Chain A
Amino acid sequence: MTGNRAGHRVAALLLVLWATGPLVARTWTVGPDGVHKKLAVALASAEPHDTIRVLQGTYSEGTLTIDRPLTLIGIGRPVIDGGRQGDVLVITAPDVTVQGFVVRGTLLSNIDDNAGIKVKKSDNVKILDNVLEHCFFAIHVSNSRNTVVAGNSVLGDPDEIETRQANGIHLWRCSGAEVVDNVSQDHRDGIYFEFVTDSHVRRNKSMRNSRYGLHFMFSHRDTYSDNLFTENGAGVAVMYSKEVEMRRNRFISNRGASSYGLLLKEINDVVIDSNQFINNTTGMLVDGCNRAEVNGNIFQANGWALRLFANATDGRFTGNSFIGNTFDMSTNGNPVYNSFSGNYWDRYQGYDLEHDGTGDVPFRPVSLFAMVNERMPYAVVLSRSLLTQLLDRAERLVPSMTPPGLEDDKPLMRSPHGTRNL
């Protein structure tokens, strides 16, 4: 009886082994001088979970599709050139890894959203350490979970007009994605998320994109940390999302009439902590935003450090430094449902008799001249003149035009961020 059972076990094990195929995955090598010259052939003949090593060379084979779980590793940065026929690399299977390639040459089509690397309905895909150039969309991921996009350089064409550009890293209806250590530049949006939840965006650089460095909508419970967004046409805009965390990001030199370091529109429960907003036309614009926790950020040398619209409520601003901005704050109404406490304002001229580090008289961050500018933007040429100084000072003594109640009751005497130069 026992012998019979043992026999069954062996048979079952054999059956499993047979069914799952060779347990040791094969490694294929594709190269211009090797046995396998065509990448497409290798992709079609490899078994699931095989590894394909691709040697240095240029592979121009039109659109390539990875339809089974494979690991593609480029040795010496081989080039996959799509020859502008459509997408370049399409991934339709889970557990695919693509690492170490140069991918270029998509068709430019708004109907098919052609991309350098396109991931469709596939979970656990890893796109690592690739260079994408001359692509319409560069990395396009949709309907997928747990995607990792890391260490890629996404280089668009800086001379292309905006309507012929698409997004660098584009995720649509994804969850659990990790977008880490990428560079995305000269596209339309550097990083674009729509319906992307529970994801992390870390240590990326997004610059010189014609529209937004980062753009997300309807993307909840995501975190963005240690990224750099600079010189993007309209800065960073994030909309219609909740439970978002943004920490230690840098929003630098986003200049232009409608350019923002960070534009928050209809964002609820957002934490904005220890970021730097430097040299932007508008550092941060808050429009229809509930329960924003804005702590420990630096606003320096911006035109308008903070524009807080009256429809923003329950925002809490503490421990931020406002240094060398043309205007610390402006508003379109009376956003009194936000609280300011314990921020450093370089315009503050109060005193601290108890020496507890906070000023004894409140600071009103919205100046009269900022209100004037809200009406007549060209009045900015008068900023820092004796006239506007006198007007602002008179207004501070006898407030009449600036929103009442909007004040920092415990302005810091020293910046929590130390001494800073322009």
Chain B
Amino acid sequence: MWKVYKYTLIDLARNKFVAGWMLLLLAISLGLFQLEDQPVKAMLSLSQVLLALVPLVSSVFTIVYLYDAMEFTELLAVQPLRRSKILSGQMLALGTALVLGALLGAGIPLVAFLPNGASFTLILACVMLTLVFVAIGSLIAIKNREKARGVGLGLVVWFLFVLVYDAVLLWVMFAFSDYPIEPWIVPLAALDPIDLGRIMVLLKVDLAAMMGYSGAVYEKFFGNVRGILVSLAALMAWVAIPSLFAFRAFGRKDL
């Protein structure tokens, strides 16, 4: 596994894309922090960009990379290697490269310009979202033989999570506003990994508003570190479950 990891990582380092991703993030972060009068405002704008962009790039790049590496994967598969080792090596390498890209590109400016809890939470959310969408991307790439179809599906899934799900959630809130749906809103939001990452950041920057509404459930949830921990656990589940399916699919796949 570690050999696959090593060689995939070396390949990713040669691939200009990850470096480009890092530079793009760096440009966005530095640009926002220098453009905005208020570092807080820059951080909030950056959080919006990152929460949308990180999942998109992570999943699409994972899908494209896994398709492009298909020949190498086939070569590996004929070696006396367990398939799960091959995939875990590749996924770990992808995760490492993209997380490093996010940490260097967005993490360093955030820590440099606004070293507070909100910034660190945002970095943590980015790291987790990268891993989640590497897992989802892997699953998509393995499940679909055609590259265009895989990339398309990756885009659809991203769009679903970044926008459509929230729209449906808002519609549900409107439609059922006569019913006591308050306790269900946060669990429902937790079904969307991007929402989870966003809520983690909200817990740091908008806690005052979160404490504002009367649901005692929320006060418990939002009032302390538990909110962050629960979100983190849910995000980990979001890494684990698609990975599990990816491994199963890869194990059975006719290469």
Interface residues, chain A, CB within 8 Å of chain B?
Answer: 255-257, 259, 279-282, 300-304, 323-324, 326-327, 346, 372, 375-390, 413-415, 419-422
Interface string of B148-165 (1 = CB under 8 A from A): 000000000000001100
B201 touches A378 (CB 8 A): no
Contact of A421 among B48, B116, B170, B185 (CB under 8 A): B116
Known A324-B40, A378-B185, A379-B170; judge A385-B215 contact (CB<8 A): no
Cα A388 to Cα B189 in complex, Å, equals 14
Cα A303 to Cα B163 in complex, Å, equals 23
Least CB distance from B111 to A in Å reads: 13
A301 touches B211 (CB 8 A): no
Could you say which residues of chain A place their CB within 8 Å of the CB of B182?
378
A421 touches B201 (CB 8 A): no
Could you say which residues of chain B place their CB within 8 Å of the CB of A372?
170
Interface string of B17-51 (1 = CB under 8 A from A): 00000000000000000000111110010011001
A346 touches B208 (CB 8 A): no
What 16 additional pairs, Cβ within 8 angstroms, besides A257-B212, A380-B212, A386-B162?
Answer: A255-B207, A257-B219, A259-B212, A280-B208, A281-B209, A282-B212, A303-B210, A324-B38, A327-B209, A346-B41, A377-B212, A380-B213, A384-B206, A421-B39, A422-B114, A422-B205
Interface of A is mostly: loop
Could you say which residues of chain A place their CB within 8 Å of the CB of B174?
376
Contact of B208 among A326, A379, A420 (CB under 8 A): A326
A389 touches B48 (CB 8 A): yes
> What range describes how many residues of B lie at the interface?
35 or more
Least CB distance from A324 to B in Å reads: 4
Known A375-B177, A379-B170; judge A384-B198 contact (CB<8 A): yes
B208 touches A281 (CB 8 A): yes
Interface string of B91-127 (1 = CB under 8 A from A): 0000000000000000000000010101000000000
Known A384-B48, A385-B198, A421-B114; judge A378-B215 contact (CB<8 A): yes
Known A379-B173, A421-B114; judge A281-B211 contact (CB<8 A): yes
A382 touches B169 (CB 8 A): yes
Which residue of chain A lies nearest to B174 when distances are taken between CB atoms in the complex? A376
Cα A302 to Cα B209 in complex, Å, equals 7
Least CB distance from A219 to B in Å reads: 28
Which 4 A-B pairs give the minimum distances between C-beta atoms? Answer: A303-B209, A377-B213, A326-B209, A387-B166
Q: Is B4 an interface residue (CB 8 A)?
A: no
B166 touches A279 (CB 8 A): no
Q: Is B228 an interface residue (CB 8 A)?
A: no
Sample of 12 A–B contacts (CB below 8 Å): A301-B40, A326-B205, A378-B185, A381-B189, A383-B206, A386-B51, A386-B162, A387-B170, A389-B48, A415-B38, A421-B40, A422-B116
B166 touches A414 (CB 8 A): no
Could you say which residues of chain B place their CB within 8 Å of the CB of A378?
173, 181-182, 185, 213, 215, 218
Cα A302 to Cα B206 in complex, Å, equals 7
Which residue of chain A lies nearest to B176 when distances are taken between CB atoms in the complex? A376
Could you say which residues of chain B place their CB within 8 Å of the CB of A326?
205-206, 208-209
A323 touches B208 (CB 8 A): no
Which residue of chain A lies nearest to B119 when distances are taken between CB atoms in the complex? A422
Cα A413 to Cα B35 in complex, Å, equals 12
Cα A359 to Cα B195 in complex, Å, equals 33
Known A280-B208, A376-B173, A378-B185; judge A384-B40 contact (CB<8 A): no
Looking at B51, B211, B212, the one whose CB has the most chain A CB atoms below 10 A away is: B212
Could you say which residues of chain A place their CB within 8 Å of the CB of B186?
381
Interface residues, chain B, CB within 8 Å of chain A?
Answer: 37-41, 44, 47-48, 51-52, 114, 116, 118, 162-163, 166-167, 169-170, 173-174, 177, 181-182, 185-186, 189, 195, 198-199, 201-202, 205-215, 218-219
Known A323-B38, A376-B174; judge A384-B209 contact (CB<8 A): no
Cα A300 to Cα B208 in complex, Å, equals 11
Contact of A257 among B114, B181, B195, B213 (CB under 8 A): B213
Could you say which residues of chain B place their CB within 8 Å of the CB of A282?
212
Least CB distance from A310 to B in Å reads: 20
Which residue of chain B lies nearest to A369 when distances are taken between CB atoms in the complex? B170
Contact of B212 among A279, A281, A301, A390 (CB under 8 A): A281
Cα A282 to Cα B213 in complex, Å, equals 11
Looking at B162, B167, B170, the one whose CB has the most chain A CB atoms below 10 A away is: B170
Which residue of chain A lies nearest to B209 when distances are taken between CB atoms in the complex? A303
Could you say which residues of chain A place their CB within 8 Å of the CB of B177?
375-376
Which residue of chain B lies nearest to A347 when distances are taken between CB atoms in the complex? B41
B48 touches A324 (CB 8 A): no
Cα A281 to Cα B214 in complex, Å, equals 12
B163 touches A387 (CB 8 A): yes
Known A257-B211, A303-B210, A386-B162; judge A419-B48 contact (CB<8 A): no
B116 touches A324 (CB 8 A): no
